[in-house]
Structures are given as C-alpha cells and as structure tokens.
C-alpha cells in the first residue's frame, strides 16, 4: 500500500529484539505524517504469538509468514519471502535492524527489489515530499553523512540498535494479523545450517548491548579480564576489548571494539586501561555516556569521556564493583 512504513521484526530465541520496538516507535511517527499505516513483517516458525506485542508498539498490521523453512534464518528463504511481500504490497519505506542478521538480509532484498538502502543509520526522517531521509556514520563514526533517496520505491534503511528511542507500549492496541502464504522449495535455499556453537555466557552482542565494560592494554593480561566480567555481571553488561588486547591474544576477535572490530553505541561504555587510539574512539564515541578509567591523565580517551578517573584500574575496579553491588542490594 502506498505510504506505508514497514519494519522487519527480528526474532532471537523466541523474543522480538529491542531494535524492532525502536523502529516501530519511529516508524509510527513517519506513518502518521505520511497518512499511511505501519506494518511489521514477522517471519519464523511458531512465532505468531509475538504479533500481539508488535501491535502494542504501534504496528497497525502484522504480516506473519510461518514455515518450517523459516525456523532458522537463511538469506535465501528470508529474502525470498520479504522481496515477494514488498513486490505485492509496495510499501514506501522498509526498515531493518542493523544487526548481524539485518545487515545480511537487507542488502540482498534491496538488490532484488532495486531499492536504495542506507546502512546502520543513527537517525531517520522524512523530507518535504514525504521521502525517507537518513543520517549514518561513515569511517566508523569519524564523519556522518545525510542520505536522500531516488524517487523509486521502496526506500530502505537499517537502523543501529540503541540509536532511536522507544515509545512506551500501549497494551490496548491490537494489530491486524495478515497470514502470508509461504512458497519455499528446498532448491531455493542454497545454504544449510549444520550446527550452532553457542558462545559461553548469555550476554548481548556488543553491537546491541546497552552497557559495555571494555578493557585494553592496561589490563596487563587475560586473567585480569575476570575483574571486568565481575563488573559486567553486576551491570548486566557485555565485555569488550581494544585492538591491543585482542592482538595480545587476551580476548577474541569478536570482542574487539573499533574501526576494524565492532562499532558500538551502548548507553554506557566503561573503558578500562584503554588509551583511546583513533580507531578505538571512532568505534565507540556514539555511546551515550563514556566512563574512562586510566592511570595516564594524558590518554586521549579522557577527551571523549563524560566521566574520568585517573587512577590504577586494579584499585578502582574492585571498589566500583562493590559499590554497584551495594546499590543493587538496596534496590
């Protein structure tokens, strides 16, 4: 339908990801301005019960595609279902989370339906003609670009998690459920998931974490990251690392924050023993609040930090963890 805004609802472990609610909240405002409706697109197997929640966050309609071939994400199956839905319904705008899955899926769909796509946007809006506009970081955040789109529809953006505010859900709101016929042949899917090796711990991915506790060269060795884990446990945070710590073999590549690792935007980033090389700063400077703990008062990280403690992190961290535990116990 013309003027409609679509949000791809991403499901992980039976739950809808928070970025989906962030997109619905922003999408609702855009749909209202456009005089169109807001739809969520929900794919999976036995995920129908999640549709209700999408309504609470503002979706007028939920396109529900359920099929055993959609149980695990595959590029081929998901892009086929979504591209066919887009071709049949012609939305104006389609939004995805800029997650691992969203960044695999969105360019594939965009190329199939020949849509413009802006990746990892930190802001979206509408121009005077009601066309999508987007703001996105480039060079890992060393510069930003404003994006406009050609006149062809739909226009697409993937949205960085934690970048857009979530409106409170309205539990009286109900979305119209539209069941989608899924036609997938085994031949359509050219990748088969054979195994999934779960990472230890249940912490959110760095790119989606609300709080990150990160360690650098100043941690002095892999054994000391235990202190960061303890702090992270109290805060419900994810542990990251600088490139120096990863290159030293103290942490995995997947934990690296920075221009050649992950670009992160948590609400709170606590940098411990990280001096703040330009590549690292680029990768975390969109965090809402930054705390730096470093004994070198000249470290560049202090120029980005909202709050800094110039001290030995090995003395500061145990006290900080204790203080936060006390606070938590007090409720």
- Binding positions for other proteins, 104-163, rule CB under 8 A: 104, 106-108, 110-112, 114-120, 134, 136-150, 152, 155
Q: Output DSSP code: residue 322.
A: H
Q: Is the C-alpha dihedral spanning 258, 259, 261, 267 positive or negative? A: positive
When asked if residue 286 is in the footprint of other proteins (CB under 8 A), the reply is yes
Token pair 């109290």 is found at: 234
CB of residue 196 vs other proteins: minimum separation in angstroms?
6
Nearer to other proteins, 178 or 248 (CB): 248
Residues of this chain, 26-65, that bind other proteins according to CB under 8 A:
none
Residue 329 binds to other proteins (criterion: CB under 8 A): no
Between 82 and 175, CB nearer to other proteins: 82
| CA distance linking residue 307 with residue 319, whole number of Å | 16
Torsion angle of the four alpha carbons 130, 135, 136, 142, in this order, in degrees rounded to the nearest 10: 160
Sequence-distant (≥ 6) Cβ neighbours of residue 6 within 8 angstroms: 27, 38, 39, 40, 41, 86, 91, 93, 94, 95, 154
Q: Residue 194, interface with other proteins (CB under 8 A)? A: yes
235 interacts with other proteins by CB under 8 A:
yes
DSSP string, 43-79: EESS-GGGHHHHHHTT-SEEEEEE-GGGSS--HHHHH
> Which of 170, 179, 226, 260 lies at the binding interface for other proteins (CB under 8 A)?
260
**Is residue 75 within 8 Å of residue 189, measured between CB atoms?**
no
Q: Which of residues 264-283 bind other proteins (CB under 8 A)?
A: 267-268, 278-279
Using CB under 8 A as the binding rule, whether residue 183 contacts other proteins is answered as no
At closest approach, how far in Å is the CB of 128 from other proteins? 13
CB of 60 to other proteins, least distance (A): 26
What residues from 71 to 110 belong to the interface with other proteins (CB under 8 A)? 75-76, 79, 99-101, 103-104, 106-108, 110
Selected binder of other proteins within 198, 221, 298, 330 (CB under 8 A): 198
Given the complex with other proteins, which of 204 and 215 has the nearer CB atom?
Answer: 204
CA torsion angle 243 161 43 261 (round to 10): -10
Q: Pick the piece of the chain touching other proteins (CB under 8 A) from 19-27, 87-95, 177-185, 200-208.
A: 200-208
For residue 139, the 8-state DSSP code is G
Please give the Cα distance from 83 to 89 (Å, whole number). Answer: 10
């Amino acid at each position: 339908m013309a003027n409609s805004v679509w949000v791809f609802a991403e499901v992980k472990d039976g739950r809808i990801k928070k970025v989906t609610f962030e997109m619905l909240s922003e999408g609702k405002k855009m749909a209202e301005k456009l005089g169109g409706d807001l739809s969520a697109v929900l794919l999976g197997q036995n995920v129908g019960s999640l549709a209700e929640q999408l309504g609470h966050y503002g979706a007028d309609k939920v396109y529900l595609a359920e099929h055993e071939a959609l149980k695990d994400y595959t590029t081929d199956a998901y892009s086929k279902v979504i591209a066919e839905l887009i071709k049949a319904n012609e939305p104006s705008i389609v939004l995805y989370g800029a997650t691992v899955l969203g960044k695999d899926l969105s360019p594939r769909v965009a190329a199939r339906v020949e849509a413009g796509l802006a990746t990892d946007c930190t802001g979206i809006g509408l121009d005077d003609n009601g066309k999508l506009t987007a703001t996105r970081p480039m060079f890992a955040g060393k510069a930003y670009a404003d994006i406009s789109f050609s006149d062809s529809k739909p226009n697409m953006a993937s949205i960085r998690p934690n970048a857009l505010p979530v409106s409170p859900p309205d539990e009286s709101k109900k979305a119209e459920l539209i069941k989608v016929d899924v036609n997938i042949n085994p031949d359509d899917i050219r990748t088969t998931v054979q195994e999934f090796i779960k990472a230890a711990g249940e912490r959110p991915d760095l790119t989606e974490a609300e709080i990150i506790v990160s360690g650098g060269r100043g941690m002095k060795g892999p054994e000391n990251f235990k202190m960061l884990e303890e702090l992270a446990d109290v805060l419900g945070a994810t542990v990251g690392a600088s490139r120096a710590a990863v290159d030293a073999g103290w942490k995995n590549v997947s934990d690296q924050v920075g221009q050649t690792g992950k670009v992160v935007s948590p609400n709170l980033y606590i940098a411990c023993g990280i001096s703040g090389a330009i590549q690292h700063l680029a990768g975390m400077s969109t965090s809402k609040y930054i705390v730096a703990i470093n004994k070198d008062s000249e470290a560049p990280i202090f120029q980005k930090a909202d709050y800094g403690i110039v001290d030995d992190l090995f003395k500061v961290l145990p006290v900080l963890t204790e203080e936060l535990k006390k606070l938590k116990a007090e409720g």
